[in-house]
Amino acid sequence: MSLPPFHLAFPVDDLAAARRFYGELLGCPEGRSADEWVDFDLHGHQIVAHLAPEEARIRATNRVDGDEVPVPHFGIVLRMKEWKALAARLEQAGVEFVIAPTVRFEGQAGEQATMFFLDPAGNALEFKAMADPARLFARN
């Protein structure tokens, strides 16, 4: 199944820091850019960092499986091998996790490895991998 790419625009307070974080640390190739925004390719999806310092660092949380999950957040569902490699790379880089790499909903249809961390502007990201990728939207 081929999925259409999604597009997400989000605020940042420093485009150079966004380029280092998304481009260098997460390995997202850079696309088009201007003085106030830059496109990144997040696994085939277009994410756009827009310079909007007054909007950065605003977030709340919701309780999920015992953790305070940052809202809003965005990310991607990886294959387990890729997720483990990214978790190791982030740990090695000294990234401070909001929710450290962990498994949630163990033994349930939605069992997943997940981790939450912030970009330099305070935007929350979640990267996850499903124990059974076919069950991404399973209810039970």
CATH number at residue 15: 3.30.720.120
Q: What is the pLDDT of residue 1?
A: 54
Could you tell me the CATH number of the domain that includes residue 80? 3.10.180.10
Both 39 and 74 in one domain: the answer is: no
- For residue 14, is pLDDT > 90? yes
AA identity, residue 101: P
Contact 116, 83 (CB under 8 A): no
Both 45 and 104 in one domain: the answer is: no
Report the C-alpha gap between 9 and 45 in whole angstroms: 11
Both 117 and 66 in one domain: the answer is: yes
Q: Does residue 140 form part of some domain?
A: no
Q: What is the pLDDT of residue 137?
A: 86
Q: Does residue 2 form part of some domain?
A: no
CA neighbor of 93 nearest in space, from 20, 11, 19: 20
Q: What is the pLDDT of residue 10?
A: 95
Residue found by looking up tokens 């015992």 in the block: 66
pLDDT single digits (tens) 87-124: 999 999 999 999 999 999 988 888 999 999 999 999 99
Per-chain mean pLDDT for the chain: 92
Q: For residue 22, what are the domain limits?
A: 7-51
Q: What is the pLDDT of residue 58?
A: 67
Both 64 and 131 in one domain: the answer is: yes
Residue 124's contacts (CB-CB under 8 Å, 6 or more residues apart) are: 59, 70, 71, 72, 73, 74, 98, 116, 117, 118
Both 66 and 41 in one domain: the answer is: no
Both 28 and 90 in one domain: the answer is: no
Q: Does residue 17 form part of some domain?
A: yes
pLDDT single digits (tens) 40-97: 999 999 999 999 988 877 678 899 888 899 899 999 999 999 999 999 999 999 999 9
Report the C-alpha gap between 83 and 102 in whole angstroms: 11
Both 92 and 34 in one domain: the answer is: no
Report the C-alpha gap between 22 and 118 in whole angstroms: 11
Partners of residue 62 on adjacent β-strands: 69
Both 67 and 106 in one domain: the answer is: yes
Q: For the chain, how many structural domains are there in total?
A: 2
